[in-house]
Amino acid sequence: MMVTIYPNPSNGLFTISTLTLNSKPIVYLVSDVTGKIIKQGEFNSGSHILDLEKIASGVYVLNLSNAEVNQTVKLIKQ
């Protein structure tokens, strides 16, 4: 599965775009650099807006997983 996240860095709104044949939801988990979970949830393939506008600026880790994907991405919130 192909996952694209943009813009990165961002002011807090990240678009996660996926292309998959699997109908299982994609689980996401956002944590700070200490490992504290900031936000979690799931979405179906396609496009999803990840809203981190209300959290402090900094570097965060986004983990995406389902049957087809297990990916970790660094997010930068300005």
State the Cα–Cα distance between residues 56 and 48, nearest whole angstrom: 21
- pLDDT tens, position by position, 10-67: 999 999 998 766 678 899 999 999 999 999 999 988 889 999 999 999 999 999 998 8
Domain enclosing residue 20, as ranges:
2-77
Domain count, the chain: 1
| Residue 56 DSSP symbol | P
Whether 75 shows a pLDDT value over 90: the answer reads yes
Task: Report the CATH number at residue 23.
Answer: 2.60.40.3080
